[in-house]
Amino acid sequence: MRVHVVSDVHGAVGDLPAASEDCDVFICLGDLLLYLDYADPRQGAFAEVFGVEITTKYIELRKAKKFDEARALTASAWAEVSGGADPDSRMARFVPIIERQYSEIFAAIPPSALMTLGNVDVPALATRQMLPGQRILDGEVVVRGGVRFGFVGSGLPSRYRTPNEIPVSKFDSLLAQLGDVDVLCTHIPPAVPELTFDVVARRFEVGSEALLALIEQTQPRYALFGHVHQPLSSRFRIGRTECLNVGHFRGTRRPFVLEL
Residue pair 244/222 in contact (Cβ under 8 Å)? The answer is yes
Q: What percent of the chain has pLDDT over 90?
A: 87
Q: What is the pLDDT of residue 195?
A: 98
Residue-wise burial string across 177-206, b where 16 or more C-beta atoms lie within 10 A, e elsewhere: ebeebbbbbbbbbbbbeebbbbeeeeeebb
91-109 residue pLDDT tens: 889 999 999 999 999 999 9
**Helices 67-78 & 52-63, crossing angle to 10 degrees?**
160
Rounded CA separation 250/229 (Å): 9
Looking at residue 86, its pLDDT comes to 75
Measured in degrees and rounded to the nearest 5, phi and psi for residue 111 equal -65, -15
What pLDDT, in 10s, does the model give residues 188-217?
999 999 999 999 988 999 999 999 999 999
Element (H, E) at 254: none
pLDDT score of 90:
83
Domain 2-32+109-259: top CATH class? alpha beta
The reported pTM is 0.95
Average pLDDT over residues 31-60: 95
224: exposed, middle or buried (C-beta count within 10 Å: 0-12, 13-18, 19+)?
buried
Q: Is the pLDDT of residue 118 over 70?
A: yes
pLDDT in tens, 167-187: 999 999 999 999 999 999 999
